[in-house]
Structure 1
Amino acid sequence: MNYNIETWKKHMVSLDTGINMAYYETGPAQGTPLLLIHGVTDGHVSWMQMAPMLARAGCRCIIVEYRGNGATDKPDCGESGYTAEMIAEDILNLMNKIGLERCHAVGHSFGSLICQELAIKDPSRFRSYTLIDTTSDCRNNPVFRMLLNGDGHGFRGIYGYSDHLPEDFLLDWTQMNNEDEAFRQATLDNVKNMPMLAWQNLIRGLAKFHNDRLGSMPEPVQVIWGTEDDIFPMKDQELVRKKLSRCNATFIPMEGASHNGFWDSLRSCRAYAEQILRFTQGERYFTGKS
């Protein structure tokens, strides 16, 4: 597969929320608009393989980099950190600034939690919601407790390092079996370049997330979950399914996929792209030529 983010259009926008926010575009300008919202430390790199597949199927992909990531500002927000509610406000303001009236929202991990907040704040702006590896409550999540407090086996947590996290931790954090070496290196370089202040604000905000209003989320909603997800495992999915029982939500298990399932391989990425396209456009739009 060939992809080159140099062909993506990069933009910087000054928001009324007080930050400068980066976003990228790829795909036909008149295509179906998809807002792609990455995981907690992933930046636009997260979508380097999937966005070209979606673009070739006729989608206009708007790929945001939210607070703490990539070229977007990284202010210190103190004890609150960067909450999903705060980031949702940034994204809605970005949509206003660029004239994006209505779109499909696709979020992965923390991005899926931000999608939930967008649905609460302004559902009129969204045609659908795709939640990839999601949850409704992060407050007792053991992975985020480990990131905040350390693991008791040498990793001191995000407050235990002044300049950067240990390379072995970052290698484990971005570990994948994807066959594209350039993609693997890009994801590693992305987290290596993140300042500690960004890690701290991102994880603080993420670890506070809980959504007691998920049951009133507007339709249509699609939940895609990798069955080997070790961050939001089956118990999280059972809770999400229970809370969405009033909503005609579609649940798609991806057998054998990790938390970052669309990074596992090009084949896996294509499978995720197909699910998104079927949900947002219908199968007739997917050419399979990726």
Structure 2
Amino acid sequence: MTLTYDLHGPVDACETVLLSSGLGGSAGFWQPQIPALVEAGYRVIAYDQHGTGRSPGTLPLPYTITHMAQDVAEILDATGTARCHLAGHALGGLVGLQLALDAPDRIASLILVNAWSKPNPHSARCFDARLALLRACGPRAYVEAQPIFLYPAAWCAAHAERVQAEVEHAFSHFPGEATMRARIGALRAFDVDARLSEIAVPTLVAAAADDTLVPWTCSRRLADGLPNATLDCVPHGGHAHSVTEAEPFNRSLLSFLAGVTTRNEIAA
């Protein structure tokens, strides 16, 4: 299995940030963040997850977040990266949590964007509805509904052409129903709530209070359960607030990373 990844920024940078996307799995989700990270001097790795985009392939069954964490470890090996700051959106945040448990020496810090530590009934209802739509109406209806869960309604209305272009791209690159069901099954089965105290790395927990897919209280639970976490909850921006509110998100991200680097230098 070969994963496609992109390297950005200086090859000799002291710090590497690996970006792990949500359910869509595409490296392109992080376009609002990559230039800011590179300008700040970080080496950046962004990748298409197994079964998505430029990384096609059949997923093992049952598929798990552990499989996805192993993929990240392989990318770190392939790029000669001993440790990274891992930023993960939703499912990508679960990948970061799992890797921090399985290989804590590979993680310098975590940035968890609208992520969670255990299943919740509201998100389960949303995924049930999305899967039912996929089964009954097919991929076109599934991807047309996707912006409803990602973005605030006002933002969608104000950026209608951009949103429709994203829908068309998602439809033309749809990974297939079996792959989508396996990926959703993996994230729905994820539960590390009882093990949060084992993850000691500095963590920024980023959430939007108006997220319609994942209640912001899931992020509060992460911040409460992780020993070294800071909660940054913004009032507006939706599930993909790193896109809709990119500038303030980037400021928070870079401030956190700078703080982690400073603490590491002092400790050394």
Bin of the TM-score, shorter chain as denominator length: 0.7 to 0.9
Shift of 1:233: 1.2
Give the letter aligned to residue 187 of structure 2: L
Q: Do 1:174 and 1:188's aligned partners in 2 also have CA atoms closer than 8 Å?
A: no
Distance 1:283 1:215, change over 3 A: closer
Separation in structure 1 between the aligned mates of residue 21 and residue 27 of structure 2, nearest angstrom: 7
Distance 1:133 1:238, change over 3 A: same
SS in 1 for 2:231: strand
Q: Do 2:143 and 2:170's aligned partners in 1 also have CA atoms closer than 8 Å?
A: no
SS in 2 for 1:160: helix
SS in 2 for 1:253: strand
C-alpha RMSD of matched pairs (Å): 2.7
Q: Do 2:20 and 2:87's aligned partners in 1 also have CA atoms closer than 8 Å?
A: yes
1:43-122 pair list within 5 angstroms: 43-78=26-61, 80-81=62-63, 83-122=64-103
Q: Specify the alignment match of 1:278 in structure 2.
A: 255
User: Comparing both structures, which one devotes a greater share of its residues to helix?
Assistant: 2
Q: Specify the alignment match of 1:127 in structure 2.
A: 108
Q: Do 1:70 and 1:190's aligned partners in 2 also have CA atoms closer than 8 Å?
A: no
Separation in structure 1 between the aligned mates of residue 202 and residue 51 of structure 2, nearest angstrom: 30
Cα deviations across residues 43-101 of structure 1 (Å, max 9, x unaligned)? 112111211121122111100211222111231434x23x2111001110221122111
Q: Specify the alignment match of 1:156 in structure 2.
A: 132
Gaps of 5+ in 2: 263-268
Separation in structure 2 between the aligned mates of residue 166 and residue 102 of structure 1, nearest angstrom: 37
Shift of 1:170: 3.8
Separation in structure 1 between the aligned mates of residue 94 and residue 151 of structure 2, nearest angstrom: 23
Shift of 1:113: 0.6
Separation in structure 2 between the aligned mates of residue 217 and residue 190 of structure 1, nearest angstrom: 36
SS in 1 for 2:221: helix
Give the letter aligned to residue 103 of structure 2: D
Shift of 1:185: 5.0
> In structure 2, which of residues 198, 210, 226 is the aligned counterpart of residue 216 of structure 1?
198
Separation in structure 2 between the aligned mates of residue 284 and residue 89 of structure 1, nearest angstrom: 25
Give TM-score scaled by structure 2 length.
Answer: 0.84
Q: Specify the alignment match of 1:28 in structure 2.
A: 10
Give the letter aligned to residue 20 of structure 1: T
Cα deviations across residues 83-125 of structure 1 (Å, max 9, x unaligned)? 2111001110221122111111111111111100010011111
Separation in structure 2 between the aligned mates of residue 22 and residue 188 of structure 1, nearest angstrom: 22
Q: Do 2:88 and 2:96's aligned partners in 1 also have CA atoms closer than 8 Å?
A: yes
> In structure 2, which of residues 209, 221, 226 is the aligned counterpart of residue 239 of structure 1?
221
Gaps of 5+ in 1: 1-18, 286-290
Give the letter aligned to residue 27 of structure 2: H
Cα deviations across residues 184-218 of structure 1 (Å, max 9, x unaligned)? 45532342121222211111111111112112112
SS in 2 for 1:46: helix
